[in-house]
Amino acid sequence: MGLWDKIFGEFVDIIDWIDDSNDTMVYRFNRYGNEIKFGAKLTVRESQVAVFVNEGEVADVLGPGIYELETRNLPILSTLQGWEHGFESPFKAEVYFFNMRQFTDLKWGTKNPIMMRDEEFGAVRLRTFGTYSMRIKDPEKFIREIVGTDGHFTVDEISDQLRNIIVTRYTDILGESEIPVLDLAGNQDQLGELITQRIAPEFENYGLELTQVLVENISLPPAVEEALDKRTSMGMIGNLDKYLKYGAGESMASGNNSSAGSAVEMGMGFAMANQMANNMAKDIDSGQARSSATPPPLPGDNWHIAIDDQITGPYKLQELNNLINDKKLTEKSLAWKQGMQDWQAAGEIKTLKKLLDKSQKTAESTPPELPKSGQ
């Protein structure tokens, strides 16, 4: 079978590669003894590059197209001279196909939180996750530095190393940026662009091109996020006193009897009782508290007048004119009606002041009585 495999290999004259894996970066074309037949057809498709390696050295790099391999063009690749040596040609070569397309949606992230100093929160720990895209830029450098003799090189074989580079440089960039924690979400695009610029030269050392780095999520530890949520909630509550009263009323209305709810309700109840006691004390000090035995006045525009240290009334406005004419209601008389906080002098009340002034003008404009005849 070995002889027939040898003969079959000599007459296969098509060299190409179709990638159906989506993660293969470099593929070595398998030929018997690495021998290439004279006049063979080499097909290099778009987004591919073919690299010939002879005796461990890169012989040629061919871009997209169809090539006929002949001695006068590629003498080191011809095996025609080997027929006289019993099919053991001294001219052998390996063909490597490089996938030149972009490899996208490659994951990167911090395994452990990054410690940084923030002006508002002090020392904080951050986790970051994202994606990046890259492709082969220099096949010769990539095969010398990374691939070597690997006949099937995939993204997974180098992704860990590339991810470590990104995370390491990202840590430095984040510390140097001095962007506040609360503003990081609004600067993710700028961070991604800065990382791409800083790390691209290191990828080029491997023959690769870093095309894009995306920062998708920057998060705080769960305990810090919970504290931040509480702080945000307190800012949204506004007036704490009104919020406590509202919460107490809602709890009482819903009849919540749980132990935790009871404790909260008890605390709110004490706070409300204390507030009510303070308000009552202020009312007493200002003389606004009234005896519960005194009935409230009838509704309407009814006035009470203090006459000879006695409360009289209620009087309608037209009835007050009679009191004025009888000199029982003067500017110094004390008056009160529903809605007033305390007794006031009639001369200080706008409505009664008008009545008093009107009565005074009427008295001044009224002529005296005529004298009797004979006087």
pLDDT at 301: 66
Cα 260 to chain centroid distance, Å, stands at: 32
pLDDT at 258: 53
Question: Which residues of the chain have a pLDDT value below 70?
Answer: 1-13, 31-35, 38, 70-92, 224-225, 227-229, 231-248, 250-301, 363-369, 372-375
Q: Which of 223, 207, 106 is nearest to 155 (CA)?
A: 106
> Regarding beta strands 303-307 and 334-336, do their DSSP bridges make them parallel or antiparallel, or are they unpaired?
antiparallel
320 touches 349 (CB < 8 A): no
Q: Which helix (H) or strand (E) holds 91?
A: none
Q: Which of 9, 25, 5 is nearest to 17 (CA)?
A: 25
Task: State pTM to two decimals.
Answer: 0.54
pLDDT at 45: 93
pLDDT at 289: 46
Which residues are 103's β-sheet partners?
134
Phi, psi (deg, nearest 5) at residue 206 = -95, 0
147 touches 161 (CB < 8 A): no
148: left (phi over 0), alpha (psi -120 to 50) or beta: left
Q: What is the pLDDT of residues 189-219, one digit of tens each?
A: 888 888 899 899 999 999 999 999 998 888 8
pLDDT at 33: 62
Whole-angstrom distance, CA of residue 129 vs CA of residue 191? 12
Burial class from Cβ neighbours inside 10 Å (0-12, 13-18, 19+) for residue 155 reads: middle
Q: Which of 147, 135, 136 is nearest to 103 (CA)?
A: 135
Give one DSSP letter per residue of 141-170, joined into a string.
HHIIIIITT-SEEETHHHHHHHHHHHHHHH
Phi, psi (deg, nearest 5) at residue 100 = -95, 5
Q: What is the pLDDT of residues 295-319, one digit of tens each?
A: 554 455 688 888 888 888 788 877 8
User: Residue 90 is encoded by which pair of tokens?
Assistant: 């001294």
pLDDT at 194: 86
pLDDT at 308: 85
* Single-letter amino acid, residue 118: D
44 touches 60 (CB < 8 A): no
pLDDT at 366: 66
End-to-end Cα separation, the chain, in angstroms: 171
> Regarding beta strands 103-109 and 65-69, do their DSSP bridges make them parallel or antiparallel, or are they unpaired?
unpaired
Side-chain-side CA neighbours of residue 78 (13 Å): 13
Q: Which of 315, 335, 345, 99 is nearest to 207 (CA)?
A: 99
CATH number of 103-223: 3.30.479.30
